[in-house]
Chains A and B, each alone.
Chain A
Amino acid sequence: MPLAELPAVRINYLQMPAEDEAPAPEDVVMVHGLATNMAFWYGGLAPVLTRFARVTIYDLRGHGHSSMPPSGYSPVEMAEDLRLLLDHLGIESAHMVAHSFGGMVAVIFALSHPERVKSLVLADVRLRPVQPRLRLRQWRFAPRWHEALAEAGVTLDDDHPDSGILLLTELARLTVERPDDARRLNETFFGAEGRLGTRTARRWLNMLETTSAFGEITGPGPDFHRDDLKRLTQPILALVGEHSIAKASARVLKRECPNCVLRVIPGAGHFFPLSRRQLFARLCLRFYAAQAGWRPELGTRH
């Protein structure tokens, strides 16, 4: 797969051409969350969007087949990776789709380079300036999770302000050390499609152990202020799972951003882009259809 040699990192990416091969297609760039990679999009929304756009998916630094430098993992630095990647690919502006931590990267990029972002789809994004602490203890499903974790012999500090990342790390460790237990737990928490692969889990652990990623990802910030969100004037589709812990961020996006539409995915948790692929694709297509010049149902651009 192609690699972009950027000054401080090598980024693995893939471009999927638009089906109609228009000379100047719209561009969609998709940003995945933590402990996953570009495959998060490949089997779901990415091929759907090629009906009317060239789609670029890539691995964040330290993830997938991108390189793992010793530092540079804050969302601000990853937004700079995104800028450099777009420069490398000659993409002047694009529609951004992002999930989870990828949403922080996309929002920071949009605040820094508003002229380069035509629209934003933000799927289950926790905005740190809005939700600086995310304690799983406060979540209504916490007791059920605790029970399942205890059965697997996993202790989790669910009062930690980043206990979601701690949970991900414990699941990764379990995936490497006791794959059968991990499979059962992953399916309980995320559904069959949210589970970690062994090498992906190993890479996540390796990144946390050998780089400054944890401190930088969970760093004090603030990466931006809540008021800055008012400057995001692009069309925004904020999607959030009904059972997600990121709902507060989605509500603030709706309140602060002048052109934001909020949709709650009924019965869904954090990983609805995987578990509710078809609904997710349908909502995104409707969002794009509502924007001037986009007629995705017809597979054409006007």
Chain B
Amino acid sequence: MDLAKVQELVFEVVAGLVADWDLDAEIGATTRLVANLEFESIDIIQMVVAFEERLQRRNLGFEKLLMVDGRYVDDLSLGQIAAFLHQRLAVAA
């Protein structure tokens, strides 16, 4: 799957999650989960599970993106998430 398609998937999944959150933020590569979409840790779980379901893959290794030195990163952009997913899918292919 090329990067553009992965990005599209990320935007679609995230847009679905926040659909009824009453937010003004636009969904794009620079949109940040916490700063723009008010994500909390449970929302991140929901997002990861949604990716796994859409891609029919488990153990995508998201902890490598979400955790640095044993701590959650402060925030992530949708572009970073798409790039990570693209890389993981390429490795597995």
Contact = CB atoms under 8 A, between A and B. Distances in A.
B75 interface: no
Interface string A51-63: 0000000010000
A59 B42 CA distance: 10
A278 B71 CA distance: 10
B58 A42 contact: no
> How many interface residues does chain B have, given as a range?
10 to 19
A199 B71 contact: no
Interface in B40-85: 40-42, 44-46, 49, 58-59, 63, 66-67, 70-72
B45 A199 contact: no
Contact of A43 (B38, B41, B49): B41
Contacts of B41: 37, 39-40, 42-43, 197
A277 B38 contact: no
Contacts of B40: 39, 197-200
Nearest to A64: B42
A66 to B, nearest CB: 11
B56 to A, nearest CB: 14
A176 to B, nearest CB: 12
B83 to A, nearest CB: 20
A17 interface: yes
Contacts of A17: 58-59
Nearest to B21: A199
Interface residues of A, number: 21
A285 B72 CA distance: 21
Nearest to B34: A197
Contact of A39 (B38, B44, B59, B63): B44
A284 to B, nearest CB: 14
Nearest to B41: A39
Given A39-B41, A43-B63, A1 B46 contact: yes
A37 B66 CA distance: 18
Contacts of B49: 1, 14
Contacts of B66: 43
Given A47-B63, A197-B40, A200-B40, A277 B45 contact: no
Contacts of A43: 41, 63, 66-67, 72
A265 interface: no
Given A1-B49, A193-B72, A65 B42 contact: yes
A122 interface: no
Contacts of B63: 43, 47
16 contacts: A1-B49, A19-B59, A38-B42, A38-B45, A42-B45, A43-B41, A43-B63, A43-B72, A47-B63, A64-B42, A65-B46, A197-B40, A197-B42, A198-B38, A200-B42, A278-B70
Which are the 6 A-B pairs with shortest beta-carbon distances? Answer: A197-B40, A39-B41, A39-B42, A277-B70, A37-B42, A278-B70
